[in-house]
Structure formats: structure tokens, C-alpha cells
Amino acid sequence: MTEYVSYVVLALFIFAILFAQRWKQAPAIICPHCRHTGGVKLRERKRKTGLSGGKVVGGLLTGGISLLATGISRNASATECRCSVCETTWWM
């Protein structure tokens, strides 16, 4: 039982390290919420931007085959910003 708990703690620890490394410090960005400079971190993320009309039409034309390959929603790459002072998150 204690072994199981230590494995879970280890897994969470590794996950936390991997997750933390995805954020990049951005010293020049000012937080729009608290006006603090230097506490903002950035990370690149795929952002779902809703239904893609082109993909739906393409899916109808190909009998749904293209939808299986590409999915119905549009994925745009965006930068997520997070202020470490007031915990506000916003997109650029």
C-alpha cells in the first residue's frame, strides 16, 4: 500500500516538472489585470476556435472521411499568458 502511494507521488512529481517546463518567462510583458511587470509566463497552445465551415463542407463531399482525419473543429495556435501575481490567464 505504501509503495503504491509513493509511485503516485513520484508520477505527480514528474508530471509537475513536465508541465512547469512548458511555461516560458516573459519579462517584458505587463499584466493587463494588475499591471505587474515580469511575472507573466507564456506558453504555445493549440486552441479550439469552434466549427470550421470548410472542414464540414469537405466532410460532406468526402462522406465524412476527411472529418475522421482532421476533426470538425479548427485548431489555431495561440499563446497563453498567465500572470503569476494575480493568476489571470489570457490569450494573445
Residues engaged in binding Zn ion (CB under 5 A): 31, 33-34, 36, 83, 85-86
DSSP secondary structure of 23-78: -EE-TTPBPTTT--BS-EEEEEEEEEEEE-HHHHHHHHHTTTHHHHHH-SEEEEEE
- Residue 36: CB minimum distance to Zn ion, A: 5
Q: Which is nearer to Zn ion, 37 or 73 (CB)?
A: 37
C-alpha torsion angle, residues 44, 15, 84, 32 (rounded to 10): 30
- Residue 52: CB minimum distance to Zn ion, A: 33
Q: Which is nearer to Zn ion, 26 or 83 (CB)?
A: 83
- Residue 78: CB minimum distance to Zn ion, A: 19
